[in-house]
Every structure is written in C-alpha cells, then in structure tokens.
Structure 1
Amino acid sequence: MIRRRVLARQLKLLREQSGLTLEQAAPKLDFSVSKLSRIENAQVVIDVHWVKSMLDVYDAGGARWNELLDLAREAQQPGWWRAYGLGNNSYIAFETEASRVQVFTLGYVPGLLQTAGYARALMRAVPVRRTDEQLDNEVAARMYRQQRLSSAENPLELVAVVDEPVLHRPVGGPDGLREQLDHLAMLAELDSVTLHVLPAAVGAHAALASGFSILSFGELEEPDMAYIEHTVGALMLDKAEEVVRAKLAFEHVLSDSLDPAESLALIRRSAGG
C-alpha cells in the first residue's frame, strides 16, 4: 500500500514537471480525468502498462524509467500478510513498510511486544467472530511482525510507551501476565526497542482518551502517518495537521514517562510480584 502511494506521488510529480494538467494528460493516456486522479491518489492498483504509457507521455526515460517500472511491479506484489488471510488495507500493510513506529497503549501491551498467549487472550476477548484457523493465523501474523525488531536486513525501530496499569492486568491469567512481563523485559534490551512506562501516578495526561501509533517511512520519503485502534474499528490518519497533533501528544506522554532503565526495573518488579 505504501509503495503504491510512493509510485502515485512520483507519477503525479512527473506529470507536473512535464507541464501537463490532469485535464491535458488524461486524453493523451486514453484515461478519464477521474481515473488519472484516482491513480495519482493511490486509490487503485496501478498497472505496469499504465506506468509505461505515462512515462512515454511525460517524456521520462533512462534510470527513472526502470526505477518506476520496478516500483510498479513491487506495488503489485501481494504482501506477506495475505498468506494469513489479512487484507491489503490493514495496519500491517503500512507497518511493514515503516522504518520507525512510536506507540502508546492504554489497556494492553503493544502488538509488537506481545507473547503469543497474550495476543490470543486479547483476541478472544474481543466480540469478533473468528474461526479457530483465523485466530491462529492472526496470532501467527502478529508473531511474524515481531521478527523485524531483531532483523539485520530490514530492521524496525520501536519506541513504545505503556501505561502502568497494563503491567498489572492479568490478560491470559496470572501466569500469562508473568510470561508477558518477562518477554517485555527481554525485548526492552534490544537495540531496536526503546520502552517507557507511564506511571499511574501521573493522572491526567495528553493521551488519556486513547492509545495510538505514529509510523515513519525513512528512505521511502512518504509522510508520517498516525493510527488509532478503538473498540469498534480503527482509523489511519495521514492529514498533516492530524499527524502533528499525534506527534505532540506522544512527546507529552513521553516526557511524563519513566526513562528506559526505570521502566525496565518497574517491569521486572511487577513480574516478580
């Protein structure tokens, strides 16, 4: 999904550099104006043959030609998550392309830091119909996502803030919680993970209404996005002003949190209790 957005942005830039408006370019491509607009807004899967036509009309050649055709082919490839029955518009499709994730959670451990048992207990608690196979697939996909935290080839940087009551909520029972806290302590020592705990004593804070994530895409040069998951669904936010508000809220929560060493000590004490 992100690579489709990158491709769409590059195609729009090429059209503008060629001096053509949407209304001028569309008939040259045998497209309607609305179709070309949907392509440039990444609202449709972009066919490689369309890209070739656009590169011809926009007089783009050389390395640019091969670069954009390769990107078009990559954008058409099914994501790894499809093997687990998950759609292309899921959060995972965006996270897979991200280089950095900042996340704050109120009621549970972030998905990238969960054990399989903890994840399964959370999913079972949500009133969504799943077959046993679907549940197994969703848990397996969540575990697969975590591999990037220790990957040398495709690393993911994670900055996570966890609300302190999460350390005491027995998701999966007392043994499940203890296993989860031990797992948190282990992952907190990875170079890719920065883990903070927001003390309950802080009281009111900037993100009391909900948890959220901020995704950054590094070399892809795609604008940052924010993601909010709630009881009846989820929102992916990409408007600049919304992302700025999310970043500001995260900065405030981070400033109220314990530092990583203090957070790790608290997690270990909670696991021992």
Structure 2
Amino acid sequence: MDSIIQFDDLGLSPDIVTIAGYTLRWYSLAYMSGLFIGWWMLRQMLKRSNAPMTDEDVDDFIIWAFLGIIVGGRLGYVFFYSPAEFIAEPLKILAFWNGGMSFHGGMAGVIIAILVFARKRALSWLRIGDYIACVYPLGHMFGRLANFVNGELWGRPTDGSWGIIFAAAGPEPRHPSQLYQAGFEGLFLLIVMTWLFWRTDARNKPGLLTGVFVVIMGASRFILEFFREPDRNLGILSTGLTMGQTLTIPLLLAALWMIYNSRAGFSQER
C-alpha cells in the first residue's frame, strides 16, 4: 500500500492565489483560459476561405458561449442528477460556487446559444457549430484537469498500480478518471479536430466536423463512465448504465445522422 499514490501527498489545491479577499481557483481559470484560447483559435480559423462568420461575430459569440456553458451546465446538473434536492431548495440552483455542472447540459447550452446567435445574425448554425466543435475540446480538457486538481469526480476502485487514494472517497485506490477524460475527450479529440480542419476539406461539409466531434466525445464518455464513479445521487440505473452513458446514446445517434447527411467523404489537402 505504501507504493500507492495518496492524492493529498501531491500537494494540489483548488485555490491558486487570494488577493484582497478574492480567491482565484483552478476551476475558474480553466473556464477563462478555455474561452480566451478558444476565441484566439477561432480567429485563426476564420482566416481560411469560406468562413461562416466574421471576427466581430466571434467576439460577440464568446459571451453567448460562456452563458450557454454556465447556465446549461448548471441546469443540466439540476434536472438530470439532483432534481429533488433543488426542488426542496430552489435557491441552491444559483449556488454555482458549490459545484455541480453537467457536461451534457453545458453542451446543450452551447447548441442553443449557436442556434439563437445564428438566427439573429442570419448565419449558418451548422457551420458555426463545426467551427466551435474544433475548439470545444480544449476547454473540456482544462475543466477535467481542474477536476483532478480539486480532487473531485474520481473514478471507481482499482487494483492497478496507477490508482490514487482520494481521502474523501475512502481508503481504496481509484482510477484517476479525470485524467482519462482530459486525455481522450480533451487532448486526443482536439488533435483529431485540428487535423480535420486544417489538413482536409471537412470544414466545407456542414455538419461533418460537429458529427465527428460528438461521436468521439460520446464514445469516449460512454466507455470512460465504466471507470468513473457514478453520481452519488443516482448510482447505476436499472438499465445497468450511468446517467452519463444514457444521455450520451441519443447524442451518438444524432451525430451519426449528421455525418451521413454531410456526405462524409473528404479529400486530403496538400
């Protein structure tokens, strides 16, 4: 047991620095960094021909995306994972600082933001979605790394030598599932989407990039849920799946439909 990593021995803290009574946390920095770098990446992507929006559109949309992630992520957590708790105390919905965000809710929030923004600007929501899909994995990776630093959303027990003991989860070594997700749903997906955008003509096939993004993200989430500790309020559902896996299934079906309708064949650009 001495060789097993103790999370507390890593010296990690959710807080970065406190100035004048305000504490900057890694989770907040993850959101801010993801949005800022994502904005910069989008501006670079718009330099390619046939871009679906202008630099000014991107500048304005970042605010919409931020609200979509925060509001959607919070409401998704409330509705899918802990409705009874928030029905009993509705004001808890506003307590973002206490944690509780849903990936599926955040994604739904971004999709709604894209739809409304595109309608107001008379733009193609599907092509805007393709561009956003190429930068979203970056913010997701930062978020999962912040989850690890916070010592939250740990995995299920494991007897592997890479297991980590999170004191709040008990004495058993657990999968560092936050790092698995940061690697597969974040870094790997970011590499794939970047290659597709810059090295192929996939960006000119509306819906293709969005479909690929959701398929890889959804498949990774479905598989990695087997290593992640189920939400304490729900556990394993009667179907044998977690809520995260259940919510992923319709996303995968919709993404496959999008890829099919985009006529997914694409050519290598030289």
TM-score normalised by structure 1 residue count? 0.27
Rg comparison, structure with higher value: 1
Pick the structure with more helix per residue. 2
